[in-house]
Amino acid sequence: MVKILFGVSDTEECKKAIPAIIKIFGHRDDVVIHLIHVVANTVVFAESGIVDYSALEEPQEEESNEVLNYFADTFTKEGIHCKRYLRHGDPIDIVLEESHRHDLLVIGDSEHSFLHKVFSSHGSSFIHNSPIPVLIAK
């Protein structure tokens, strides 16, 4: 079984990676795509000291699940089996931790992509620290 970890975000660049993945890995029964969307921890500095964190987190959860569902539905229509993962924390740490259980990491490429948003200037450092091959799709 080939396990692909695909770091997804709600960007056009990330969505443009879908055809590349389908072209390379579609129509294979031995491929599973694990979609991961990482929500960075929310830091709030409240002067009053009273903050309703659920009011901040609930919309993020909904948006994140919509992103995961979009990608999962798209791949499922193409006959590619998917699993979804929504994680909270430091995106670099989470993706690197998850990558150990996969054969390939796929990320969309652009200034607006998951790679840039999450890793910004640490992009090359992340790629060098990944324990598995990284495919950056355009």
Q: What is the DSSP string of 18-53?
A: HHHHHHHHTT-TTEEEEEEEEEPPP----SSS---H
- Closest Cα partner for 113 from 84, 134, 138? 138
Matching residue, tokens 């309703």: 52
126 vs 61, which has greater pLDDT? 61
Q: Does residue 126 register a pLDDT over 70?
A: no
**CATH number for the domain formed by residue range(s) 2-137:** 3.40.50.620
For the record, the structure tokens of 136 come out as 């950056």
- With cut-offs at 50, 70 and 90, classify the pLDDT of residue 53: low
Separation of alpha carbons 136 and 108, rounded Å: 6
Cβ atoms of 4 and 25 closer than 8 Å = yes
Q: Binning pLDDT at 50, 70 and 90, where does residue 80 land? A: very high
Instruction: Please tell me the distance from the alpha carbon of residue 10 to that of residue 114, in angstroms, as a whole number.
Output: 8
pLDDT (average), residues 10-35 = 90
Taking CA 115 as the corner, what is the angle to CA 112 and CA 119, rounded to the nearest 5 degrees? 110
Per the CB < 8 A criterion, the answer to whether 131 and 103 are in contact is no
Buried b (16+ CB within 10 A) or exposed e, 86-111: ebeeebeebbbebbeebebbbbbbbe
Q: What is the pLDDT of residue 92?
A: 79
The whole-model pTM stands at 0.81
